[in-house]
Chain A
Amino acid sequence: MPSTELVGRVMAGDPQAERELYDTHVDRVYRTAYRMVGDQDLAQEYTQDTFVRVFDRLGTFRGEAKLSTWITSIAISVVLNGQRKVKRQRTREVDLDDAQGVTIPERRAEPDLKIRLHQAIDRLPTGYRTVFVMHDVEGYTHVEIADALGIQEGTSKAQLSRARAKLRSALGAFEGEWVQ
């Protein structure tokens, strides 16, 4: 069914259409949220927040973008806002640990190359990381990313290229090991 027709039925209060819309998009939203946060509870919370907002704001969907892109843009906004708050919270907790003189022993053993890569992805600046996860991990196109994030397609490509360069540099010590 075309998404405009589905949206119309949801707006008319058809509960089956609401469920249909949810079923069509929930996997993609949850997967993207999970890839971004790596935490089941948070991914679940962000997915729920996303759909509450989607149903709340469906009247503002004009059909200029694809429905899936519009929903993704809400999901990304929910995840990024949520993560800012989580980060603030974690920073406070780290401060508390410092104040109490708690130290985490340095890991001696070098982790596996893939783990190093995943850690390097975690440490990317938010903008780079968002584009990298959407494109290289989840397979969104640059057009979809640009629509969802409200940026130019060229900006998305540039962010991805910088993200990859940063990862390459972060894994410099392992040069050559990716030939397996």
Chain B
Amino acid sequence: MTDDRFDEFLDQAAKEYNPPPEPPREAMWQAIQARRSAASPRVVDIREAPSIRLGRPWLAIGMGIAAILALGIGIGRWSGLQTKAVTPPVTVAGTDRTSERSQLAMQLVATMHLSRIDNLLTDLSTQKADSEFIHTTRDLLSDTRLLLDSPRLTDPKLKRLLEDLETILVQIAQLKPHAGAEDRELINDGMAHKEIRSRLRNAIPAGPTA
């Protein structure tokens, strides 16, 4: 055996590694558009949402919250950048106020986001994992990742909770439409083990805001 022969074999056989199927272009485009419009901070969307005919009422509410979530994260990031850019070495009252405002925005969006997840987890035991349910889960997963990436997320307890929720949402997002009870059981066991529901409810001070 020579290096050349091995390279020849490799060149040919490597091309057959994970051969991709035809990309579902339209489905992906629709999903991308939906996520982008949900993340768009257009207040008018929230007012229009109830008139949209959706199978589940909380989806409409969720779309509005997603818009607020994106706006809140945007404010948090913007004020973070502003603080970095203009803050002199001496702390001034204005900076404190900016920081307080952005923390408040973060708290608000986090509470709304956690309420949406709480609703989803409640539905998990009764709803079929159809495409709409999975789509909502993926939106929540994406928003969870946005929150985790936010420089304004300074509460370690909230961060840990979001990380655990991210794991749960990944599992739910991978559920097949006719997933058996065992799959859901596994997710429920994971949630029970991490005390997700009680931690989630503790983190939502006055109950769902949506």
Report the separation of the CA atoms of residues A116 and B97 in the bound assembly, to the nearest whole angstrom: 61
State whether the Cβ of A141 lies closer than 8 Å to any Cβ in chain B: no
Main secondary structure of the interface of B (DSSP, over half): helix
* Given contacts A175-B1, A178-B6, A179-B1, A34 and B20 within 8 Å (CB-CB): yes
Report the separation of the CA atoms of residues A52 and B21 in the bound assembly, to the nearest whole angstrom: 22
Q: What 0/1 pattern do residues 154 to 190 of B give for CB contact below 8 A with A?
A: 0000000000001100110110000000000000000
Q: What 0/1 pattern do residues 91 to 110 of A give for CB contact below 8 A with B?
A: 01000000000000000000
B141 nearest in chain A by CB position: A45
* Given contacts A178-B8, A179-B1, A30 and B28 within 8 Å (CB-CB): yes
In the assembled complex, 11 residue pairs joining A and B whose CB atoms fall closer than 8 Å, in A order, are: A19-B29, A26-B23, A26-B29, A30-B23, A30-B28, A34-B18, A41-B174, A48-B35, A89-B171, A113-B13, A175-B1
Check B173–A45 contact: CB distance below 8 A. Answer: yes
Report the separation of the CA atoms of residues A105 and B17 in the bound assembly, to the nearest whole angstrom: 25
Check B18–A35 contact: CB distance below 8 A. Answer: yes
Check B36–A55 contact: CB distance below 8 A. Answer: yes
State whether the Cβ of A5 lies closer than 8 Å to any Cβ in chain B: no
Contacts of B7 in A (CB 8 A): 164
Check A137–B167 contact: CB distance below 8 A. Answer: no
Report the separation of the CA atoms of residues A88 and B152 in the bound assembly, to the nearest whole angstrom: 25
Contacts of B170 in A (CB 8 A): 85-86, 89
Q: What 0/1 pattern do residues 2 to 35 of B give for CB contact below 8 A with A?
A: 0001111111011111101101110111011001
How close is B137's CB to chain A, nearest CB, in angstroms? Answer: 11
Report the separation of the CA atoms of residues A136 and B16 in the bound assembly, to the nearest whole angstrom: 11
How close is B100's CB to chain A, nearest CB, in angstroms? Answer: 27
Contacts of A41 in B (CB 8 A): 174
Q: What 0/1 pattern do residues 44 to 66 of A give for CB contact below 8 A with B?
A: 11011101100100000000000
Q: How large is the interface on A (under 10, 10 to 19, 20 to 34, 35 or more residues)?
A: 35 or more
Report the separation of the CA atoms of residues A137 and B37 in the bound assembly, to the nearest whole angstrom: 35
Check A26–B28 contact: CB distance below 8 A. Answer: yes
State whether the Cβ of B87 lies closer than 8 Å to any Cβ in chain A: no
How close is A115's CB to chain B, nearest CB, in angstroms? Answer: 10
Q: What 0/1 pattern do residues 141 to 180 of A give for CB contact below 8 A with B?
A: 0000000000000000000000010011000000110111
Contacts of A180 in B (CB 8 A): 9
Among the listed B8, B31, B174, which residue makes an inter-chain contact with A48, where contact means beta carbons less than 8 Å apart?
Answer: B31
Check A164–B17 contact: CB distance below 8 A. Answer: no
* Given contacts A52-B36, A89-B170, A167-B10, A45 and B138 within 8 Å (CB-CB): yes
